[in-house]
Structure 1
Amino acid sequence: MNNIIEKEWLLKNLNNPQVRVVDCSFSLADPKKGRQEYDQKHIPGAIYFDLEKDLSGEIGDHGGRHPLPDLEEFVHKLEQAGISENSTVIAYDQGEGACAARFWWLLQYLGHEKVFVLDGGYRGWEEGNYPVTSEVQTFNKAVFQPIMNHGLIASMEEVRTIVNGQVPSTILIDSREEKRYLGLEEPIDKKAGRIPGAMNKPWFEGLNAGYYLPVEVQKQRFRDINPENNIIVYCGSGVTAAPNFLALKAAGYKKVKLYLGSFSDWISYPENKIE
């Protein structure tokens, strides 16, 4: 898979000055846990990016629970981490895959193609008995020049036109677990259900213990979707949809967008229908 990197490759390239490693570990149940785990031990040279402080913006009336961060500020943080447009960036989390994929998507959105997700995450790295450290490395400030790829993001208005039947060739994919998709259970958002017309492809079915399933298996997961269709993936807040976005691209689907605000943004508009 083109956007996935194996831990063996990273081990060989840890001291490559063009390689930057980013730890995106985060727990929604305990927002401080990811930083604490990073402080205790991480992959040598890794810089920490927090899902809510770095990879998301301030929550407002609309935009969902993890809206797009202020991009000027985000680019500044990349530069402070020594990341330039020439850097090869490897993102990882504790092995769940979603936060690393969120960082990967954000850099893709900024036009940076040399960004990868570490297969197996930190858990796989430790299982390989590879080196870890508590040392926080600093880097010289770099220059990162974004080239925005607006074709990767879908707005609420765009999703609404699909729901209203105005764009028949576009598929909506709900990446949440089936109980939430069906509206039987909603532990986080204020309303239960799904965006009308969406099909369900739970994001975690594309991974096995933090490792992405092979391309052929991903193709089987999405075999009921025509590769010629436009696809928009969403979840609760635009985080767990990112692994599905990555898996779809790996399976050869070229016309994929992420509805970043996702269901939490959709329900912030009272007029939007829910199934």
Structure 2
Amino acid sequence: MNLPRFLLTLAIAAMLCGCPEEQPLETVADPVPQPAPEVPSEPPEQAAEPAAPVDEAPAADELLVTAEELQAQLDDTELRILDVRSEEAYAESHIPGAVRVDLNDWKSLALSEGGLQDADAWAGRVGELGINAGTPVIVYADNPTNATRIWWTLEYLGVNDVRVLNGGWAAWQQADAPVSNEPLVPTPTEFEPEFQEERLAAKEDVQKVIETPGGAIALLDARSEGEYTGTSGPGARKGHIPGFARLEWTNFVDEQGRFKSPDKIREIVGDRPAGEGAITYCQTGGRASLNAFALELAGYGPVQNYYCGWSEWSAADDVPVKTPAEDAAGGSENESE
């Protein structure tokens, strides 16, 4: 799919993205998410007409794998399985052949100043897992936002074949699949990141988009209703980025943390993805990664993740913030700056 023209012109700006190191990390949600009903919220100010899925949309089995399918691949020596759970959980039992990823370390690096452009650091992180650009990878966790955060990061770094175990660790246990408590130390590779800038949005990109009337792009906020309305949640200021409609990540998974079907996701999204692209954000990139994954699963994308998200935007004094109450009162976008 051809990317929107503005994405190409803003690629250089995206390379400057990096959150200050002191920004808080996103709180990990409960392992079993409770789906929230879709809540009417502010329509995207940039919406044009609905976009059809891309002509060559990835099939569901190219992004998702079931526990049964993964069991059949356990003897594949080329496959790298990544466990994104805690060190204690991994030590107790894990999928045979899985290598543990330190989620907090990866989040800290990505959110540090210039972290998403630190080629040397990412070469070390990914290379020590025995992964190169052509390695097939399957990621699992006990929370779907953790798995999709690693999925998004690897895709952004240029790893070509990354999939997610649908339902995560719970699905593996429910399938009565084999487990191991033997840690795996892979042979390191010489990984060279090739940053896929079309997957990343910087603060400057978002500013230009919301200042461009009639832009053909969907703007989606993956956070909770309280965070969106400014009644709860972290951040130096409360509310949301003007022009972004709330489409919470929990809409895309069921009670077991399994992704809904592509058809159901398209039904949930409705006419929100306008034109040829979308930007999604949350607090620090995790929930937005899940939204990006779901949209691509349904045939939209690639979707830009404003990874630094609300932790960066709310702390900046040169960007506007809105709340629905201000919208209803006819307030200016700049009243909450």
Alignment of 1:191 onto 2:237? yes
Give the corresponding residue for 2:68.
8
1:58 to partner: Cα distance? 7.1
> Would you tell me which structure has more strand in proportion to its own residues?
1
C-alpha separation in 1, matches of 2:152 and 2:93: 25
> Would you tell me which structure has more helix in proportion to its own residues?
2
Query: Cα deviations across residues 179-226 of structure 1 (Å, max 9, x unaligned)?
Result: 21111212x323221101110110011001111000100001111224
Query: Cα deviations across residues 3-26 of structure 1 (Å, max 9, x unaligned)?
Result: 11111111111121110111112x
1:77 counterpart (125, 129, 135): 125
1:80 to partner: Cα distance? 1.8
Query: Cα deviations across residues 107-160 of structure 1 (Å, max 9, x unaligned)?
Result: 111222211011010111011111112211112222323332111111100101
Equivalent runs, 1:192-271 vs 2, <5 Å: 192-208=238-254, 209-226=256-273, 228-271=275-318
1:167 to partner: Cα distance? 6.4
C-alpha separation in 2, matches of 1:141 and 1:255: 29
Give the corresponding residue for 2:100.
48
Query: Cα deviations across residues 75-131 of structure 1 (Å, max 9, x unaligned)?
Result: 22222221122311011111x201110111111112222110110101110111111
The CA RMSD measured in Å over matched residues stands at 1.9
C-alpha separation in 2, matches of 1:252 and 1:41: 35
Question: 1:161 is paired with a residue of what secondary structure?
Answer: helix
More relative contact order in 1 or in 2 (CA 8 Å, sep 6+)? 2
C-alpha separation in 2, matches of 1:271 and 1:77: 34
Q: Contact (CA 8 Å) 2:225, 2:246: kept in 1 or not?
A: yes
Partner amino acid for 1:146?
A: P
Gaps of 5+ in 2: 1-59, 323-337
Partner amino acid for 1:48?
A: R
Question: 2:127 is paired with a residue of what secondary structure?
Answer: helix
Question: 1:90 is paired with a residue of what secondary structure?
Answer: strand
Alignment of 1:176 onto 2:236? no
Query: Cα deviations across residues 216-270 of structure 1 (Å, max 9, x unaligned)?
Result: 0000111122452421000111111111101111112125211010111111211
Q: Contact (CA 8 Å) 2:151, 2:164: kept in 1 or not?
A: yes
Give the corresponding residue for 1:29.
none
1:274 to partner: Cα distance? 0.8
Give the corresponding residue for 1:272.
319
Give the corresponding residue for 1:21.
81
C-alpha separation in 1, matches of 2:231 and 2:107: 30
Structure-2-length-normalised TM-score:
0.73
Q: Contact (CA 8 Å) 2:217, 2:275: kept in 1 or not?
A: no
Partner amino acid for 2:116?
A: L
1:90 counterpart (130, 138, 157): 138
1:117 counterpart (151, 164, 168): 164
Q: How many residues align?
A: 261
Greater Cα radius of gyration, structure 1 or 2: 2
Give the corresponding residue for 2:173.
126
- Cα separation, partners in 2 of 1:73 and 1:255, compared to 1, 3 Å: closer
1:156 counterpart (190, 195, 203): 203
Q: Contact (CA 8 Å) 2:224, 2:248: kept in 1 or not?
A: yes
Partner amino acid for 2:104?
A: E
Question: 2:103 is paired with a residue of what secondary structure?
Answer: coil
Give the corresponding residue for 1:30.
none
Alignment of 1:103 onto 2:188? no
Question: 2:138 is paired with a residue of what secondary structure?
Answer: strand
Give the 4+ runs in structure 1 shifted more than 4 A: none
C-alpha separation in 2, matches of 1:171 and 1:227: 5
C-alpha separation in 2, matches of 1:134 and 1:69: 35
Partner amino acid for 1:20?
A: R
Partner amino acid for 1:128?
A: A
